[in-house]
Amino acid sequence: MSLVEDLERYRLLLDEALCQATAHYATGVESLKDAMAYAVEGGKRLRGATVLAVAEDLGCGVQEALGPALAVEMVHAYSLVHDDLPCMDDDEFRRGKPSCHKRYGEAVALLAGDALLTEAFEVMATYGALPLDRRTLCVRTLAHAAGPGGMVAGQVIDLALEGRKLGPDAVTLMYSLKTGALFGAAAKLGALAANAREDVQKAAESWGKSFGLAFQIVDDIDDLKQGGKELVKDTLVKESSLDHAIALARSTLDESLAALGPFGGKGRFLRELSLNYLDKIK
Amino acid sequence: MSLVEDLERYRLLLDEALCQATAHYATGVESLKDAMAYAVEGGKRLRGATVLAVAEDLGCGVQEALGPALAVEMVHAYSLVHDDLPCMDDDEFRRGKPSCHKRYGEAVALLAGDALLTEAFEVMATYGALPLDRRTLCVRTLAHAAGPGGMVAGQVIDLALEGRKLGPDAVTLMYSLKTGALFGAAAKLGALAANAREDVQKAAESWGKSFGLAFQIVDDIDDLKQGGKELVKDTLVKESSLDHAIALARSTLDESLAALGPFGGKGRFLRELSLNYLDKIK
């Protein structure tokens, strides 16, 4: 199957499972349930697909890896909801529709984000058939990547950069924490679900950290081409140059490919995804 | 040892461990680390003490139960930070000092809350020496109580009540979700840490749900006596009467005592805490 077909298959699976999980866990209060469902709706599911693809590549069924995959998508969705709030980026649109607080009000959006973050851990601890001890390793991985040593730290650096020129290194660190950490966790969660050897888990995480950083830089470059957010936001292109950004994206994607050594002949999806992104900046 | 002495011992232990954990997990970004430390500072630690006391009463060392106890306090602290934000209760003071967003700004306070919630799960999955499988059960318990089927649902009902008279039943449900659920989880976490029988775990949770509800009602009554928040906030006293509130607190505390049957001769701390609260409304 091609990369595009794989991505579409994973996306459909995740869309349906996210819809069911949100309805199952968020009982009782309608506005909260609606806001949570609205917030998870419509993503590309690249992070969740990474979990499923790594697990499948390593011989684990997608059903087994679905809990961690849903959790990663919930964490990603919560981060977007909070990121869009007026006290943060104050974005009115997200995923082609009004952002969560525009639709449900600031308070409910804040709480829907909190609920998605909490539910991510509940889902990982309860959904599907993974053994209990391995679930704890999944919780460690996701919490570490999403918390104050990972994604949230990246958000704080993002705030600190606003209106100040701190240079390309600070932007790169911010991208690594904000985006790289969660992709690293996603790939490692797939390896954990498949009960892979420790060196394979580390290789998966390492691929994800590099790919996530490159993903964010390519996003910048795309925005520049479309004349979008780089005008107002701190991006690597703005802090250095287009050439520098392209060179860094390329070397980071090369690193992601090099990290896959311990996968041996496996890891097709990760390899193809890196090559696909290299292609985008050719 | 008396209840007061126990509470003081647990408080000191939790204060120190919270301080260390925040410094350990939140590396790199100073403003985030400071805001997290500020947010956990100064509580009474009643929820964390409940975890430790149940564990000790059931023959488990406090060190073993410290991970879940820290996690419960972090979840409680995050909920206060987000609750105080301008789009929620807009409170300028908390625990006798400026609220987190007054001190660090809205964006950093929002992110410090997110970080504390995430770190709670990391701590529970990594801190101390509990077996991995039992940690997953702890994550389930806390996530369920704190998420969209528990505390967050209570917050949304609280918002919905604002400026509308929905009657005492809605307020009681809101209290059960907002406060009862987390006390229920705290007591159950202590039993889980001690690897107690399932009926004892359930009894602990049941005690916590009743005690938490009563705790919130007694808080109302105290506020009324001091001429405080009941003037502006929806409280049970406002939705019914002082007599009704006192009667409900009393019967709920009686229920909490009755729930302790499966503890046999154990559960001294929980019993004394319920009796102490019965005494407050005599």
Q: Give the C-alpha distances (Å, rounded to integers) separating A64 from A134, A135, A159, A188.
A: 12, 11, 38, 14
Q: What is the pLDDT of residue A50?
A: 98
Contact B220, B230 (CB under 8 A): yes
pLDDT band, residue B96 (cuts 50/70/90): confident
Mean pLDDT across B44-57: 97
Helix A106-126 to helix B132-146 angle (10° resolution) is 150
Distance of CA A153 to the CA centre of its chain: 15
pLDDT over 60 (residue A229): no
Q: What is the pLDDT of residue B100?
A: 97
Q: Which two tokens stand for residue A255?
A: 């690193």
Cα separation, B127 vs B67, in Å, equals 5
In chain B, what residues touch A149 (CB-CB under 8 Å)? 25-28
Residue of chain B whose alpha carbon sits nearest to that of A153: B29
Q: What is the pLDDT of residue A232?
A: 53
Q: What is the pLDDT of residue A228?
A: 57
In chain A, what residues touch B157 (CB-CB under 8 Å)? 29
Taking CB atoms and an 8 Å limit, are A82 and B114 in contact across chains? yes
Nearest to B159 among A88, A107, A121 (CB): A107
Which residue spans within A24-157 are E strands per DSSP? 93-94, 97-98
Mean pLDDT across B175-191: 97
Residue of chain B whose alpha carbon sits nearest to that of A26: B148
pLDDT over 60 (residue B236): yes
Q: Which residue has the higher pLDDT, A165 or B177?
A: B177
Taking chain B, what is the end-to-end CA distance rounded to the nearest angstrom? 24
Contact B130, B67 (CB under 8 A): yes
In chain A, what residues touch B76 (CB-CB under 8 Å)? none
pLDDT band, residue B67 (cuts 50/70/90): very high
Q: Which of A76-90, B15-29, B254-268 is the least confident region? A: B15-29
Mean pLDDT across B44-55: 97
Alpha-carbon gap: B259 to the closest alpha carbon of chain A (Å): 25
Alpha-carbon gap: A33 to the closest alpha carbon of chain B (Å): 8
Cα separation, B137 vs A135, in Å, equals 10
In chain A, what residues touch B124 (CB-CB under 8 Å)? 139
So what's the ipTM on this one? 0.96
Interface test with A, best of B122, B124, B157, B182 (most A CBs within 10 A): B122
Alpha-carbon gap: A162 to the closest alpha carbon of chain B (Å): 12
Task: Count how many Cα atoms sit within 13 Å of the Cα of residue B171 in the half-sphere of its side chain.
Answer: 24
Q: Which of B109-123, B187-201, B217-231 is the least confident region? A: B217-231
Q: What is the pLDDT of residue B190?
A: 98
pLDDT over 60 (residue B139): yes
Alpha-carbon gap: B223 to the closest alpha carbon of chain A (Å): 25
Alpha-carbon gap: B47 to the closest alpha carbon of chain A (Å): 18
Taking CB atoms and an 8 Å limit, are A119 and B148 in contact across chains? yes
Alpha-carbon gap: B90 to the closest alpha carbon of chain A (Å): 11
pTM of the model: 0.96
In chain A, what residues touch B117 (CB-CB under 8 Å)? 114, 117-118
Distance of CA B80 to the CA centre of its chain: 10
Q: What is the pLDDT of residues A103-129, one digit of tens each?
A: 999 999 999 999 999 999 999 999 999
DSSP A129: S
pLDDT over 90 (residue B90): yes
Q: Which residue has the higher pLDDT, A162 or A139?
A: A139
Q: What is the pLDDT of residues A1-60, one digit of tens each?
A: 799 999 999 999 999 999 888 877 666 688 999 999 999 999 899 999 999 999 999 999
**Mean pLDDT (chain A, rounded):** 93
Cα separation, B176 vs B184, in Å, equals 10
Mean pLDDT across B215-227: 86
Taking CB atoms and an 8 Å limit, are A159 and B107 in contact across chains? yes
pLDDT band, residue B230 (cuts 50/70/90): very low
Taking CB atoms and an 8 Å limit, are B88 and A110 in contact across chains? yes
Interface test with B, best of A18, A76, A89, A152 (most B CBs within 10 A): A152
- For B202, other C-beta atoms within 10 Å of its C-beta total 16
Nearest to A25 among B31, B88, B148 (CB): B148
The CA-CA-CA angle for residues B182, A109, A82, to 5°, reads: 95
In chain B, what residues touch A160 (CB-CB under 8 Å)? 31
Q: What is the pLDDT of residue A224?
A: 80
pLDDT over 90 (residue A207): yes
Amino acid at A165: K
Alpha-carbon gap: B67 to the closest alpha carbon of chain A (Å): 13
pLDDT over 90 (residue A215): yes
Mean pLDDT across A237-246: 88
Helix or strand (DSSP H, E) at B114 = helix B106-126
Taking CB atoms and an 8 Å limit, are A139 and B121 in contact across chains? yes
Distance of CA B260 to the CA centre of its chain: 19
Nearest to A118 among B32, B132, B146 (CB): B146
Interface test with A, best of B34, B87, B102 (most A CBs within 10 A): B87
Phi first, then psi, for residue A93 (nearest 5°) are: -125, 150
Contact A26, A119 (CB under 8 A): yes
